Amino acid sequence: ITPALFERYPDAKSLAAANLSSLKLLINSCSFFNNKAQNLIKMAQALCQKHAGEVPLDENELKALAGVGVKTAHVVLIEALGANFMAVDTHVFRISKRLDLLTKAKVPEQADAELSELFKTDLNRLHQAMIIFGRYTCKAIKPHCEGCFLSEFCKEKTNKI
């Protein structure tokens, strides 16, 4: 989606002026594209009005933008600054539960706090490693448990390959 999106809307100003229907068509292959399209336009408008069209590199300012929560703010700061943040997506959450790293977390925000407290440093690297591991090895459906280097720690071994 992003190459076509960035070609059509190369900056916040052009995205802020986007036609909602056209934007929806452009991103309709992603989940929740109706809400995402609305939030993309609102976010771009806020960037133009409050930040001179530039993405702020402050967690609270990022979270104040439409459609931006903790995970997205952390991903932006990880990618832009190499910040020491965890960003809990579906892969990180699933792996953390399977490896019994979480005690009370029921939602990603709680998992973020627990993992950050548990590991403390190099969270950005851990985040990236867990995403790759979750995409290709510890998948939601048909995980590759056989030969997994963490299988002895997994509480949900399926031993499927």
Q: How far apart are the first and last CA of the chain?
A: 30
- Choose the catalytic residue: 24, 42, 89, 139: 89
Does the annotation count 104 as an active-site position? no
Does the annotation count 89 as an active-site position? yes
- Choose the catalytic residue: 11, 50, 63, 71: 71
* Residues catalogued as catalytic: 71, 89
